[in-house]
Amino acid sequence: MRGPPAPSPDRNVDPFVHNIDPFIFRIGDGFGVRWYSIPYMLGMLFVYLSLRKAAAQRRIAGLTEENSESFVIMAIALALVGARFFHVFVFEFDRYGFDPVAWVAVWRGGLAFHGGLLGVVLAVYIFGRQHGIRMYDLTDRIAAPVAVALGFGRIANFINAEMYGTLYDGPFCVDYSQSQYMGAPPEGCRHPVQLYESAKNFVLAGILLGMREKLRPRPGVVTWTFIGGYGVIRFFLMFVREERIVAAGLTLAQFFSAGMAILGAVMLVVVMTTEPPRERTTPGVDGPVQDPGAGESGGAARRRERRQRRGGR
């Protein structure tokens, strides 16, 4: 754990006293509908609507309004499994041990972003193989919506009073010590790091959406900007999140985030220096289906070449 800062006598804003009931309503002891679920559902709805729009506009070869539903369901399921697996077996195995019931008790909280991301990547791979959809066609499209979903997810973390920040005696700090809903509420005022991360995700989503719709870069650029950008910003935000230090003054999540940043930077160089894939066509649709950001120059050039060959006969 990182040490506490010196108290600040200049704080002129009262702390936010966190005493939010995690349940909208309860059914028995420990069961019910949680506020936690609402932001995640909103995020997944945003991803689904984005894919439906892409399918309706025939922006992605092989994607239909019907199979986009299948993808979202698969992605949610695999992301949930991956996020829980990482949380239990990578980050908190000393807490859960060999208790299979605790492993699957998702309703008690405990999901790891990096495992959830791997679950989504697996869903993209499986879905792409099933329907003949190229990876970057799909990942470039969902990068911004996924960032929005993650932004809503961090709001859920704040409501659930988990993944709180380090001690902080400045404006807008959060006091959990009076919470009647936490088993062992932490002492002192804390950074609202969940909300920092939420804002980071929403800003990143805006950048990715602008890149996709306005700049139309090469396939893969939006995807790896998301991976690299997320890793860089999260690495630094983790300095104000209460986590166990593992080595070199860094947390395990920071090592994973650094890996994301490095991988994103390397792959950006690769996709920007590699010839983009050729366009594909969708049966029953006249003309090529453009990759988001791929531009139309390749198709126009090939049409000119065909006209020139016909003219030379």
C-alpha 67/C-alpha 165 separation (Å) is 40
The radius of gyration of the chain's CA atoms, rounded to the nearest angstrom, is 23
Give domain status of residue 282, yes or no. no
Neighbours of 46 (CB within 10 A): 20
pLDDT tens over the chain, length 313 residues = 555 444 444 555 689 999 998 888 888 776 777 777 787 788 889 889 999 999 999 999 999 988 999 999 999 999 888 888 888 888 777 777 777 777 777 766 677 888 888 999 999 999 999 999 999 999 999 999 999 999 998 998 899 898 899 999 888 899 999 999 888 899 999 999 999 999 999 999 999 999 999 998 999 999 999 999 999 999 999 999 999 899 999 999 999 999 999 999 999 999 999 877 665 544 444 344 444 444 444 445 455 555 555 554 4
At residue 293, the pLDDT reads 44
Neighbours of 208 (CB within 10 A): 25
What is the pTM (predicted TM-score) of this model? 0.79
Residue of 110, 87, 200 lying closest to 148 (CA atoms): 200
The string over 256-274, giving b where at least 16 C-beta atoms fall within 10 Å of a residue's C-beta and e elsewhere, is bbbebbeebbebbeebeee
C-alpha 136/C-alpha 11 separation (Å) is 48
At residue 108, the pLDDT reads 65
C-alpha 92/C-alpha 47 separation (Å) is 29
Q: Read off φ and ψ for residue 219, nearest 5 degrees.
A: -55, 135
Number of residues written out for the chain = 313
Give domain status of residue 235, yes or no. no
DSSP state string for 239-283: GGB---EEETTEEHHHHHHHHHHHHHHHHHHHHHHSPPPPPB--T
Sheet strands side by side (includes 189-190): 16-17, 174-175, 189-190
C-alpha 307/C-alpha 302 separation (Å) is 9
At residue 30, the pLDDT reads 66
Give domain status of residue 275, yes or no. no
Give domain status of residue 175, yes or no. yes
Half-sphere exposure of 197 (CA within 13 A, CB side): 29
- Encoded tokens for 169: 């005696």
How many domains are contained in the chain? 1
Give domain status of residue 204, yes or no. yes
- Encoded tokens for 244: 């166990």
At residue 236, the pLDDT reads 97
Q: Which domain holds residue 195?
A: 16-208
Distance of CA 60 to the CA centre of its chain: 21
